[in-house]
Amino acid sequence: MDITVIGTGYVGLNAGAGLASKGHNVTCVDIDEEKVEKINDGECPIFEEGLPEMLEEMVSEGKLEATTDTVSAVASADVVFLAVGTPMDDEGNINLEYIRQAAEDVSEGMSERDGYQVIAVKSTVVPGTTEEEVLPILERSGKEAGEDFGVCMNPEFLREGTALKDFLNPDRIVIGELDEKSGDKLEKIYSEFEAPVVRTGLKEAELIKYGSNSLLATKISFINEIGNLCKQLGIDVYDVADGVGMDSRLERSFLNSGIGFGGSCFPKDVRALIRFMEEEGEDPKILRNVVELNQGQKVKLVEQLEQKLEDLDGKTVAVLGLSFKPGTDDIRQSPAIDIISELKEKDVNVKAYDPEAMENMEQRHPDTVYTESYQEALEGSDAALLVTDWPEFDEISRKDLKTMENPLILEGRRMDYDLPDDKTEGVTWP
Ligand code: UGA
């Protein structure tokens, strides 16, 4: 099928490349000319494992191209995905500016198309947005939804760092549909995928996305609360999580305790759901506490550091890992941002290292020293804070510890290295 994807962020680009690899003809649209040019040259504008190779292959085979011309890309498409960002405003609401603009551009293209096509929202939007905000804009094309064109809401569940793999091997495909014809057409796109398909209404699909992300975030805050108790008791939260996770009604995944969740999704989506519930007259007690606990969890390492070193003034501390998780250069809502701010407030000399995210962090914290390697960050430091569980940190050795002024690693994430117990300490484990 001919597919157009509006927006070349993590979701749009991975979905575009993934669908092209399943045999569809994909056009990716973005307003950023530089990005469009890069994609057409077979270059990948974002850091994501496997995507550069796949993108290059699809472009060279002529299965994927990029353009800034929304109107003609829409006019030639059987299915159009809206995959633009829905960032958070100061109050936690989602900002619909980009999706409204994209819908307007799409409606222009729709008026130039003869015959039926489906417009599917992939962006994360609160219940009601597709039907009450996007659909009326699309109808400015002069066409009638459910008659001349179909409308779907098709949330995406891929994770940064494993995005392409997740897109191609989803646990389920959720198709929210205005009517059966819309859903039937969208489902055809996924005929080569092996996942179960959930057909539902538009609002249900929108809430499945928020429900999934909020429950995953809740699991993390829950295990961190248990972890904080474990710390008091001097026991290991990972032993507790393993035992709990063996109950088939529960699930071991997303029970990895540490310094909490970051990224462009969980913090934003939980807050957006809270705001939405409040507007609907509901009282989101659990979710408010999920956010509050996560905020406190981020800087627990610094509290621990203060207990260990007493006076932090003038001390040198290595911060290992800056991205919000391994496998990405994305620092959005990364615990490292708040940790570095706290350290600076306490007049600590920070030496930071990350295999991929230093350039991004430099824009946020320009006056921090960035090192070429974790070894260089550790050398001469009074302590190290392990913030992101990049696999290369598993290689930290006793020899590396010897180069430190004071050999001590406080772990915000669980690592698998072989270091003496009295030189390392976890945020929620001994
Ligand atoms: C998350 C969801 O997992 C995806 O399904 C969803 O599609 C995506 O948001 C989105 O809405 O776009 P992502 O934010 O890329 O994906 O990354 P995750 O792997 O979910 O990790 C999020 C944060 O939680 C990271 O900071 C990670 O370190 C933390 N985390 C994760 C924990 O602290 N403990 C865990 O057990 C798991």
| Ligand 1 atom 22, closest CA | 261
> Is 315:341 a contact under the CB 8 Å cutoff?
no
Between the CA of residue 229 and those of 8, 73, 308, 424, what are the distances in Å?
43, 55, 19, 19
CB burial of 320-346 (b: ≥16 within 10 Å; e: otherwise) equals bbbbbbbbbbbbbbbbbbbbbebbeeb
pLDDT at 90: 83
Sequence letter at residue 213: N
pLDDT tens digits, residue range 375-389? 999 999 999 999 999
Query: What are residue 389's DSSP bridge partners?
Result: none
Structure token pair of residue 126: 């609160």
Question: In whole angstroms, what is the distance from residue 66 CA to residue 30 CA?
Answer: 8
Please state the atom number of ligand 1 nearest to the C-alpha of residue 155. 7
Domain formed by 298-426, architecture? 3-Layer(aba) Sandwich (3.40)
pLDDT in tens, 253-304: 999 999 999 999 999 999 999 999 999 999 999 999 999 999 999 999 999 9
In this prediction, residue 310 carries a pLDDT of 86
Task: Give residues (CB < 6 A) around ligand 1.
Answer: 124, 156-160, 213, 216, 220, 254-256, 258, 260-263, 265-266, 324-325
Matching fold, domains 2-209 and 298-426: yes
Residue 257 pLDDT: 98
**Residue 89's pLDDT band (cuts 50, 70, 90):** confident
Question: What is the rounded distance in angstroms from the CA atom of residue 40 to the CA atom of residue 18?
Answer: 16
Q: Which CATH number fits domain 2-209: 1.10.3720.10, 3.30.420.10, 3.40.50.300, 3.40.50.720?
A: 3.40.50.720
Mutate to test the pocket of ligand 1, among 123, 162, 164, 216 (most ligand atoms within 8 A of CB): 216
Residue 152 a catalytic site member: no
Q: Please report, as a single letter, which amino acid is at residue 265.
A: C
Model confidence over 401-422: pLDDT tens digits?
A: 999 999 999 999 999 999 999 9
Average pLDDT, the chain: 97
- Mean pLDDT score, 340-355: 97
Q: What are the Cα distances from residue 421, in Å, to 91, 242, 307, 367, 424?
A: 43, 21, 17, 33, 5
Instruction: Map tokens 């405003």 to a residue.
Output: 89
Q: What is the pLDDT of residues 198-244, one digit of tens each?
A: 999 999 999 999 999 999 999 999 999 999 999 999 999 999 999 99
182-203 per-position pLDDT tens digit = 999 999 999 999 999 999 999 9
Rounded Cα distance between 181 and 287, Å, is 36
Question: What are residue 81's DSSP bridge partners?
Answer: 5, 120
Judged against a pLDDT cut of 90, whether residue 6 lies above it is answered with: yes
Structure tokens at 353: 């290292």
Average pLDDT estimate for 70-90: 95
Cβ distance 44 to 51 under 8 Å?
yes
Give the distance (Å) from ligand 1 centre to CA of residue 3.
Answer: 28
The domain limits of the chain are: 2-209, 298-426
Phi and psi dihedrals of 6, rounded to 5?
A: -95, 120
**Which pLDDT band, with edges at 50, 70 and 90, does 92 fall under?**
confident
Whole-model pTM: value is 0.97
Residue with CA nearest ligand 1 atom 7: 157
* Helix, strand, or coil (residue 75): helix
* Cα angle 313, 371, 367; round to 5: 50
Percent residues over pLDDT 90 in the chain: 98
From atom 28 of ligand 1, which residue's Cα is the shortest distance away?
Answer: 325
Distance between the two ends of the chain, CA-based, in angstroms? 55
CB 43 within 8 A of CB 13: no
φ and ψ at 56, to 5 degrees? -60, -45
- Supply the pLDDT for residue 395: 97
Closest C-alpha among 115, 106, 84 to residue 181: 115
